A and B are shown apart, each in its own frame.
Chain A
Amino acid sequence: MQNKKYWHGLLVRTKDRLSYEDHWFPFPFLLPLMLFLCIYGQFLPDLNPRRKNLSHVLHLKGDLQPKKALWLAISPYKNSLLINTSDQQDLLIPQKITKPSDLAPLKSYLTAKMQQIALSATLEKEADPGASLIILAVDKTLKYYHLRPFLYILAEVGISEYAFETLVPEEEENS
């Protein structure tokens, strides 16, 4: 009997509440919408492409980077060189190259990328000169002998224009 009274009272109160306009009702729908917009708007289109990059590049003012270019980060990792690519692949290469097969993972990656660029240029009937430019984000602790094998691989794969990434110093950025 008491239960019945409780439910009856609840029903009457709900009826009364719903009988007049209540302005807060769209908010429960807006909550997931705002959360979705916040997460989608921040993460998916503009995720920092350098979030896995371990290389600390030189602070130097250089030339502007093109929008479309291959990007590789080269940083020391234990006794090897860790290469992060722009499509979030990680390659490990020994610091001292003793045989050509040491560079095979990098060579196959770059070959596949060049084929992709050539295919898209053929399909679009338009070649973007910046598309085959490769930007190397080389850690400033590395020496030239670490870098030399990469230059040979670039030449072998058919890349003739390459660049080294630099970080614009803060005072230059603000000016």
Chain B
Amino acid sequence: MMTISPMLQSKILKTKKRLSNNTWQHYCVFLGFFSALLVASFCLRISAMTAKYEMVTASIPIMSVPLKFPAALRQVGEKFGQIDQNSPVIVFGIHDFVFGHLKNFTKDLASDTNKHRISHEDGTPQAANLVADLKKWHEDQQKLFKIKNPGFVILLPQDSLPVAIILQVIQFLKGSGLYSKIILGSDIF
């Protein structure tokens, strides 16, 4: 009969004693706690993370003022364009779009022949038709009067229009490639 060495016997006794202690319960408790923390961290990320947002840009024109301060002359901003009487204007009304040059809405406001009108269909603004007509209009202006598209447009929406629709029209105009800057205005109604 094989005898077990005293060292091995003591090891077996110690292992039995260790396993008879309920320390394995601690492992389960802590493992469970860490799993709960992992789940909680995912839940906390829901409150910390935000959805994806983007933006629709617009501009406010700046008036240039000659500065006498010499240090400021070292930093001159790039001029994108200049608003003059030939700058394009789009009036966004409840029933239609009306577009023309700035002088047609100031000096020649009463005249009907110098403005172009695109009616909304069933209350829906026809932005695609507007862009197509604008493209043709700019080409005609360039050919006939040498008036180039300045790359910006002044948009005058009616006050009662929802902001959401105005933003969609702005994004459509920018996406068409005709204009890179939109200037929002008001007070024509």
Binding site for B on A (CB under 8 A): 17, 20, 22, 24, 27, 30-31, 34-35, 38-39, 41-43, 46-51, 57-58, 60-65, 133, 135, 137-148, 151, 154-155, 159-168, 173
The answer, yes or no, to whether B56 is at the interface (CB within 8 Å) is: yes
- Do B161 and A167 touch across chains, with their CB atoms under 8 A apart? no
The residue in chain B whose Cβ has the minimal distance to the Cβ of A64 is B54
Interface of A is mostly: mixed
The answer, yes or no, to whether B86 is at the interface (CB within 8 Å) is: no
- Do A166 and B159 touch across chains, with their CB atoms under 8 A apart? no
- Do A164 and B52 touch across chains, with their CB atoms under 8 A apart? no
Contact of A168 among B21, B52, B166 (CB under 8 A): B52
Write out the residue numbers on chain A whose beta carbons fall within 8 Å of the beta carbon of B23.
22, 24
- Do A42 and B45 touch across chains, with their CB atoms under 8 A apart? yes
- Do B56 and A159 touch across chains, with their CB atoms under 8 A apart? no
Contact of B52 among A34, A159, A167 (CB under 8 A): A167
The residue in chain A whose Cβ has the minimal distance to the Cβ of B172 is A60
Binding site for A on B (CB under 8 A): 14, 18, 21, 23, 26-27, 30, 33-34, 37, 40-41, 44-45, 47-62, 157-164, 166-168, 170-171, 184, 186
- Do B37 and A140 touch across chains, with their CB atoms under 8 A apart? no
CB-defined A-B contacts under 8 Å, sample of 23 = A17-B21, A22-B23, A43-B48, A47-B48, A60-B167, A61-B54, A63-B54, A65-B55, A140-B163, A141-B162, A142-B162, A144-B186, A147-B163, A148-B159, A154-B60, A155-B60, A161-B60, A162-B59, A163-B56, A164-B163, A165-B55, A166-B167, A168-B53
- Do B26 and A27 touch across chains, with their CB atoms under 8 A apart? yes
CA distance A138 to B52 in the complex (A): 16
Write out the residue numbers on chain B whose beta carbons fall within 8 Å of the beta carbon of A39.
44
Write out the residue numbers on chain A whose beta carbons fall within 8 Å of the beta carbon of B168.
58, 60
Contact of A58 among B59, B164, B186 (CB under 8 A): B164
Would you list the 6 A-B pairs with minimal beta carbon distance, nearest first?
A163-B55, A42-B44, A62-B54, A145-B159, A140-B164, A163-B57
Given A24-B26, A31-B33, are A63 and B163 also a contact pair (CB < 8 Å)? no
Q: How far is the CB of B160 from chain A (nearest CB, A)?
A: 6
Write out the residue numbers on chain B whose beta carbons fall within 8 Å of the beta carbon of A161.
57, 59-60
- Do B160 and A145 touch across chains, with their CB atoms under 8 A apart? yes
The residue in chain A whose Cβ has the minimal distance to the Cβ of B31 is A27
Given A24-B30, A166-B56, are A42 and B50 also a contact pair (CB < 8 Å)? no
Write out the residue numbers on chain B whose beta carbons fall within 8 Å of the beta carbon of A64.
54-55
CA distance A27 to B37 in the complex (A): 14
Q: How far is the CB of A32 from chain B (nearest CB, A)?
A: 11
The residue in chain B whose Cβ has the minimal distance to the Cβ of A46 is B48
- Do B60 and A159 touch across chains, with their CB atoms under 8 A apart? yes
- Do A27 and B50 touch across chains, with their CB atoms under 8 A apart? no
- Do A34 and B62 touch across chains, with their CB atoms under 8 A apart? no
